[in-house]
Amino acid sequence: MRSSAGSNFDQALTTAAVDLLARFRRAGLRLATAESCTGGMVSAVLTEIAGSSDVVERGFVTYSNEAKAELLGVPLALIQAKGAVSDEVARAMAAGALAGSRADVAVSVTGIAGPGGATPTKPVGLVHFAAQRRDAPALSARHVFPGDRAQVRRASVETALALLLQAAGLAAPDGQGGGADHR
């Protein structure tokens, strides 16, 4: 995942992060992240860019169900009913990140990066996303990414960046969100 320029991320992710930060900066928007299976990678790719503090308001790494409940206000009953990897929990995570921050837009990621954790209805590579702009309806996406743990997490970061742009109303004219690939 390391680029030759000394970044912890490949050039495509770094370029997508630089583009997102520039678009958010021009729009005067700040963002928050709520991450589970990516473990803070969305925040990390953004904050690796110098000057990102004027856009990135905060990030929540809520790997456990308890963290989702305590930090983001996701009801444990919802997690028990739908599972931590679900559209409903992803939406609740994004809403909780907005409620617990001063951000204008939030994104959430919850999934099964593998190699374990899969069930017959929730395979390795299943990731749910939600992104919401304050006072607007949430957007959500469900993907089943191929590959190993690193590939699933990398694809999840790329998708989260694109969804942030879309929720903010800043997606590129081609609909791809400034270089991120929707799957």
How far is residue 7's CA from residue 16's CA, in Å, rounded to a whole number? 13
Give the pLDDT score at 8.
85
Residue-wise over 89-102: b if at least 16 C-beta within 10 A, else e?
A: bbbbbbbbbbebbe
**For all residues of the chain together, what is the average pLDDT?**
92
Give per-residue pLDDT as tens, 59-98.
999 999 999 999 999 999 999 999 999 999 999 999 999 9
Domain 11-168, CATH: 3.90.950.20
Burial of 14 (0-12, 13-18, 19+ CB in 10 A): middle
Give the pLDDT score at 4.
41
Helical axes 87-99 vs 65-72, angle rounded to 10°: 40
Give per-residue pLDDT as tens, 152-179.
999 999 999 999 999 999 986 554 443 3
How far is residue 111's CA from residue 174's CA, in Å, rounded to a whole number? 27
Phi and psi, residue 122, nearest 5°: -135, 90
Give the pLDDT score at 6.
58
Give the pLDDT score at 172.
61
